[in-house]
Amino acid sequence: MKKTVVVCGLLLGVVLGVPVAKAQRAAEAASPFTQAERFGEEKERERTFFVFSTSAGKYILRHDGMGEVTSPAGLRKVFNLKVGVKERIERVYLWEYGGDLLLLYQAGEAGYLARMNQRLRKVRTMTIAADFTPPALKDHHLVFDDGTTVSLN
């Protein structure tokens, strides 16, 4: 009888421990990116804006990649993101990392990952697959579903 209770207790611990472990792995693999709020009418894509805030200020990003940031002091500066000819930004995800702003966005048939120094407004961009989902963060690397890995260092 004691062996049965011990075995049942071990099995119960293993069964209950598995969902906890899966939930923990899912939390670790969750993407740190958040989606920017989109304004404008779906039918009139040429009047679409994305609005979001970071520690450096408030951002407005136009469908054609032209953006503006307003600092807490009220100073406005413009910046440009890479967008193909006649392409429009469809969706934007953002994440602040080490003072930089990481923007993950889709423009037409291409996806882009841009890293912007928020103080200098200098942007570095790389092309990724257009059908991306926000990547997971693992050991200072962004890991996309298709296996693409981008170092954050």
Check which CATH number belongs to the domain holding 56 and give it: 2.40.128.650
Check residue 49 and give its pLDDT: 94
Question: Are 61 and 85 contained in the same domain?
Answer: yes
Residue 100 CB contacts under 8 Å (≥ 6 apart), including other chains: 115, 116, 117, 118
Q: Are strands 66-70 and 76-80 parallel, antiparallel or unpaired?
A: antiparallel
Burial class (CB in 10 A: 0-12, 13-18, 19+), 82: middle
Question: Are 100 and 143 contained in the same domain?
Answer: yes
> How many structural domains comprise the chain?
2
Q: Which residues pair with 68 in a beta bridge?
A: 60, 78
Question: Are 62 and 10 contained in the same domain?
Answer: no
Q: What angle do CA 63, 67, 69 make, to 5 degrees?
A: 145
Share of the chain above pLDDT 90, in %: 58
Of the candidates 122, 118, 83, the residue with the CA atom closest to the CA atom of residue 98: 118
DSSP type of residue 147: S
Positions in the chain whose pLDDT score sits under 50? 2, 4-18, 20-28
Of the candidates 127, 140, 139, the residue with the CA atom closest to the CA atom of residue 98: 140
Question: Are 58 and 4 contained in the same domain?
Answer: no
Check residue 43 and give its pLDDT: 67
Share of the chain above pLDDT 70, in %: 78
Q: Which two tokens stand for residue 121?
A: 């407004």
Full domain range(s) for residue 4:
1-30
Question: Are 13 and 42 contained in the same domain?
Answer: no
Determine the straight-line distance between the first and last CA of the chain, rounded to whole angstroms.
58
Rounded to the nearest integer, the mean pLDDT of the chain is 82
Question: Are 39 and 6 contained in the same domain?
Answer: no
Question: Are 15 and 51 contained in the same domain?
Answer: no
Question: Are 66 and 135 contained in the same domain?
Answer: yes
Check residue 67 and give its pLDDT: 96
Check residue 100 and give its pLDDT: 94
